[in-house]
Amino acid sequence: MKYFIDTEFIEGFHKPLFGKRRHFIDLISIGIKCEDGREYYAISKEFNYKDADEWVRKNVILPIVQESVNKYNEQAKRLNMGFKDKPRHLDVSAITVVQKFEGKTNAQIASDIVKFIFPSREECKIEDFREYQKLYGGDNLQIWGYYADYDWVVFCSLFGRMIDLPKGFPMYCKDIKQLMDEVGLGVKWKRSHCPDPKGEHNALIDARWNKQLYDKIQQVKQEQESFEKIALNLNRLAIQPCTWLVKTQFGDLMVSKADKTQELFEYYLKSGFVKFPHIYPDEWFATRPQRESEAGPFVSGKELY
């Protein structure tokens, strides 16, 4: 089972009266999206607002307060928190109230996460123990994040030291950004296929987005694997010297005009096993290689989609 995590946190350095500065990283909130559809979100009541820099206060903590005010508007008014429905500026008393009523201790959050990652069979509605073990067993547990280095540090710190992670938890987090690099996808592709979500820097919204990005990358990987299979099958049948160049989103493929090759190619296209953005000329291939009897190497063609 795959879990997609995101955290919001405060980091910096504390300078004790004596000694060197020490780095700290404190959890603000955490969101987890499971591939089975379940979600978890929690706000920590242990972070110190005064440790946050201006960017974190404006882009992370203020939206949390705004959301809480919208959710508990009448309660906020009764508490006389001193701001309107959508505050534009943070008030320490407001944050204190939100942490008190909305927040959990880090120990509570850690306990919740264990129950969330290892749900009961009754909660999952799975009667067969083997099926449950296959889906939720520790060997199949994967945790994913996006630029996840600090997310993983914060996540693990909820349980203490690295060796204190609960039994069955992986000792590492998989990074979606590394997966993008392996597949050959860059920033432009991400912007067009999975743009940053509205309300980003909310841990749960970002965790949902992480799963969406992962799913998009898997689609591209499947198409690449399909292309490789087609390339292998077509090249095996390319027994005639008359060949064409097929241009695809993943590269160029030389194929033969053998009848079996054309039939196989047609089958793949009709079955939807793989899609090519441009198939030339009129029916099939992108360009024909230049021959001695032809004036030029290119033949215009038909765009399928």
Do 136 and 119 touch, CB atoms closer than 8 A?
Answer: yes
The CA distance from 69 to 77, in Å, is 9
User: Across residues 175-190, what is the average pLDDT?
Assistant: 92
The C-alpha angle with vertex 27 and arms to 80 and 164, in degrees rounded to 5, equals: 140
pLDDT tens digit sequence for 200-225? 999 999 999 999 999 999 988 887 77
Domain boundaries, the chain: 2-218, 238-305
Q: Token pair for residue 219?
A: 């689609």
Q: Residue 116 burial (CB < 10 Å; 0-12/13-18/19+)?
A: middle
Q: Global pTM?
A: 0.73
pLDDT band at 39 (very low <50, low <70, confident <90, very high): very high
**What integer pLDDT is reported at residue 288 of this predicted model?**
39
Nearest to 65, CA basis, from 79, 78, 80, 83: 83
- C-alpha 288: how far from chain center: 41
Q: Is the peptide bond before 297 cis (omega within 30 degrees of 0)?
A: no
**What integer pLDDT is reported at residue 303 of this predicted model?**
31
| CATH class (in words) of the domain with range 2-218 | alpha beta
